[in-house]
């Protein structure tokens, strides 16, 4: 998959989180309502499939647990989530919706877990795809 195709796939993904029994769907470029989230700033981060290269589910689960522990150690609130692709050739990806996190910290965590991009947003703005591999500062 080319870089352009990969970013297009990220933009077509539904980023779904479970917040205290409520399902919240986030989409790149779509506004985020006050009622959807519990914090002004948030990020949707995965530790699975670093570099967008598929790993076995057991390895992805271990990486996810490490991400969850990283969030806990930093005092961040994280809700379970999944990146649900629009296409059939990629499985939903285990993720976290992390609230109360700044953009730089979210990018740093994503980079630590080998991610190509994260989704970042603030209440009243739109969900933004943030490419973190250094080639593009923003791609939303």
Model confidence pTM above 0.95 = no
Domain count, the chain: 1
Kindly report each contact of residues 103-112 with a partner whose C-beta sits within 8 Å and lies 24 or more positions away, as own/partner: 103/41, 103/43, 103/130, 105/74, 106/43, 106/45, 106/130, 107/132, 109/43, 109/45, 109/67, 109/70, 109/71, 110/43, 110/45, 112/70
139 part of a folded domain: no
87 part of a folded domain: yes
137 part of a folded domain: no
138 part of a folded domain: no
- Nearest by Cα to 102 from 78, 123, 82, 120: 120
Distance of alpha carbon 88 from the chain centroid: 19
pLDDT at position 107, please?
97
Residue 48 or residue 125, greater confidence: 48
Q: What is the pLDDT of residues 18-38, one digit of tens each?
A: 999 999 999 999 988 766 676
CB atoms within 10 A of CB 39: 14
Q: What is the pLDDT of residues 60-119, one digit of tens each?
A: 999 999 999 999 999 999 999 999 999 877 789 999 999 999 999 999 999 999 999 999
* pLDDT over threshold 60, residue 138: no
pLDDT at position 2, please?
83
> Whole domain around residue 25: which residue ranges?
3-131
């Amino acid at each position: 998959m080319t870089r352009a195709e990969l970013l297009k796939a990220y933009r077509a993904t539904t980023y779904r989180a479970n917040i205290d029994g409520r399902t919240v769907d986030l989409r790149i470029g779509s506004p985020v309502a006050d009622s959807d989230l519990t914090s002004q700033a948030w990020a949707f981060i995965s530790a699975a499939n670093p570099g967008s290269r598929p790993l076995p589910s057991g390895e992805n689960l271990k990486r996810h647990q490490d991400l969850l522990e990283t969030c806990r150690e930093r005092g961040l609130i994280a809700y379970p989530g999944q990146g649900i692709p629009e296409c059939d050739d990629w499985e939903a990806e285990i993720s976290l919706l992390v609230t109360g996190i700044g953009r730089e910290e979210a990018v740093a965590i994503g980079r630590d877990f080998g991610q190509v991009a994260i989704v970042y947003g603030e209440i009243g703005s739109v969900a933004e795809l943030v490419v973190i591999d250094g080639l593009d500062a923003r791609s939303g």
